[in-house]
Structure 1
Amino acid sequence: MPQGLILVPIQCDDNMYSEDSVFGAIAELEGAVSDRKLQPFGLRTSKLFKEDIRSRSVTVAGNATQASSTATTHENVLEWVKQDKRRMLHVVYRVGDMDRTIKFYTECLGMKLLRKRDIPEERYTNAFLGYGPEDSHFVIELTYNYGVDKYDIGSGFGHFGIAVEDVSKTVDLIKAKGGKVSREPGPVKGGNTVIAFIEDPDGYKFELLERGPTPEPLCQVMLRVGDLDRAIEFYEKAYGMELLRKKDNPEYKYTIAMLGYGPEDKNAVMELTYNYGVTEYDKGNAYAQIAIGTDDVYKTAEAVKLCGGKVTREPGPLPGINTKITACLDPDGWKTVFVDNIDFLKELE
């Protein structure tokens, strides 16, 4: 070591990247320089050493400030999610015979065919069905891929929910039309709500729930998850949903959580189900995704990433129609597409 060079130790603690601690240490070093402990190297060396110290201090302090600013930005994004105008738009899944499914949904379930479009260059057809206009109701988007007449629903998808005023009458109608009833009308286990389960021609299950008049008859999408608390936290923070209720059923070894953007008697909700001890499910290739409206797909994608979700399509406009979207996966691998609210309304014009 050259004679006369003094090494001044700097005490570091958990706040080592704060501006106060950085500049305090710098002052200590500069004091060592000022009292001529570096004199053997000459004034020019001392001056350069001081300048280098000051430059390094600015860099470190700048990094600390940037980290603090980034944390604040992240907090702002997650807070924005809570204020975003979000609504469940539609659920997308694949069917093997479009005309057969449309006939069943309109005649047996009382839905209306809202629109239909054929995309021959992409070899698929879409049909939108529901109980009211797409700009105000949650609807179904069916997809038929040319030449594919069967899909695997898997074990992860549960059912769709439809609220009806009289479950027994609805079941009788479905039977008369040749529909399959997999659970006869009766009170739900451990409760009083009258329900029944039916299956459409492709094997998708629908739970019929007896309720009074409601503005949103298509009321549930049930998916199974491997960690319910993890899923709830993600849907609350990344998707901005509210936990409406949670119920444990130890007798039947499952727990459910209802999440959505408003009361479940007036809005479509997600029903997430955890079966004791089951952490993974086969998702098949039939069920596709839900679509949710948002005011900003870019902030939405950022929030999803911050909450541990995977963005599978970076935010931006779709080729040809310019509707801005982003697509992502939740921690269980269920897909959601977020659609710009204004662009979505333009599509419907």
Structure 2
Amino acid sequence: MASGAEGKTVPDCENALEWVQNDKRRFLHAVYRVGDLDRTIKFYTECFGMQLLRKRDVPEEKYSNAFLGFGPEDSHFVVELTYNYGVDKYDIGAGFGHFAIASEDVYKLVETIKAKGGKITREPGPVKGGTAVIAFAQDPDGYLFELIQRGPTPEPLCQVMLRVGDLDRSIKFYEKACGMKLLRTIDNPAYKYTLAMMGYADEYETTVLELTYNYGVTEYTKGNAYAQLAISTEDVYKSGAAVELVTKELGGKITRQPGPIPGINTKITSFLDPDGWKVVLVDNSDFLKELGL
């Protein structure tokens, strides 16, 4: 391993893929755009029971952010809402599926959402052919949230679901480029879909990425609402080297080479998966500094 200018590490690409499998990673946040930041904050806190963790306004760039979740950002997955000045509506597209929230009592959660004026698109009850109890709620911008009945969990904000055109390719991509593990797959021929749960720990203990393949559908519209998924890494340069190798093999592309963000000096790298979904890898030490930890 050689050392470059300004302390940047130049990774050994031959060992990068192996290193990824041992990197300490976790999902940090999902970034997406909303048309009224205060309205969405009110909905998520009152209907879902999330906490507003921090909020920032960047007038020189004409946008505001809010971070919400069920616990501190240094240990929990959160949503990062972005409001761009003057833009009150976005196209979610057909590719984005839903977020999910685990609750010990989905029926009670649904009643709370209804009492606050929220929209339920699927009433609570067992899934067809199974016993798991779920419901679906829609937020003011049209994003869907699956509500899953589950015992006590350290991470209620438990899923991000995205649709992909080639499930085997996507599984390999996220295993090799992101160090995720394939937790389980479910094939449902009656409804013509297969899904794969990907993550860094048991899905009942942490957040997972749910990839869904609908039989015969290879492309989806992305819209301009959902932005990206952020994941922590111990070294963005080694991570970037691995992503470069994987994109050459499986598709996708790097959209930002590893390095610090001007102004805040947090090191990141970003890329698109083979379906065009964006992922950002964030230096964990820098991220904790951003949080003041």
TM range (shorter): over 0.9
Determine which of 247, 254, 267 is the counterpart of 1:311: 254
Q: Which runs of 4+ in 1 moved over 2 A?
A: none
- Tell me, what secondary structure is at the counterpart of 2:109? helix
Give the number of the structure with larger relative contact order, counting CA–CA contacts within 8 Å between residues 6 or more apart.
Answer: 2
- Tell me, what secondary structure is at the counterpart of 2:99? strand
What one-letter code is carried by the residue in structure 1 that aligns with 2:70? Y
Pair 1:181 & 2:124 matched: no
Determine which of 183, 191, 200 is the counterpart of 1:252: 191
Residue by residue, what CA displacement relative to the aligned partner does 1:135-190 show, whole Å, maximum 9, x if unpaired?
Answer: 00000000000000000000000000100010111111111111110000011123
Cα RMSD of the aligned pairs, angstroms, is: 1.0
CA distance in 1, matches of 2:33, 2:127: 29
Give 1 or 2: higher strand fraction. 2
Deviation, 1:74, is 3.9
CA distance in 2, matches of 1:144, 1:346: 24
Q: Sequence identity, in percent?
A: 76
Residue by residue, what CA displacement relative to the aligned partner does 1:279-315 show, whole Å, maximum 9, x if unpaired?
Answer: 0000000000010000111111111111123110011
Structure possessing the higher radius of gyration over alpha carbons:
1
CA distance in 2, matches of 1:145, 1:190: 43
Determine the structure 2 residue equivalent to 1:39: none
Aligned length: 278
- Tell me, what secondary structure is at the counterpart of 1:222? strand
CA distance in 1, matches of 2:165, 2:134: 26
- Tell me, what secondary structure is at the counterpart of 1:80? helix
- Tell me, what secondary structure is at the counterpart of 1:307? helix
Determine the structure 1 residue equivalent to 2:9: none
TM-score, normalised with respect to structure 2: 0.94
Pair 1:221 & 2:164 matched: no
- Tell me, what secondary structure is at the counterpart of 1:299? helix
Determine which of 269, 274, 280 is the counterpart of 1:326: 269
Determine the structure 1 residue equivalent to 2:59: 120
Determine which of 222, 232, 237 is the counterpart of 1:298: 237
CA distance in 2, matches of 1:263, 1:191: 21
Determine the structure 2 residue equivalent to 1:78: 17
Deviation, 1:75, is 4.0
Residue by residue, what CA displacement relative to the aligned partner does 1:41-91 show, whole Å, maximum 9, x if unpaired?
Answer: xxxxxxxxxxxxxxxxxxxxxxxxxxxxxxxx5441111000001010000
What one-letter code is carried by the residue in structure 1 that aligns with 2:184? R
Determine which of 279, 286, 292 is the counterpart of 1:336: 279
What one-letter code is carried by the residue in structure 2 that aligns with 1:258? M
What one-letter code is carried by the residue in structure 2 that aligns with 1:117? R
Q: Which runs of 5+ in 2 are unaligned?
A: 1-11
Q: Which runs of 5+ in 1 are unaligned?
A: 1-72
- Tell me, what secondary structure is at the counterpart of 1:234? helix
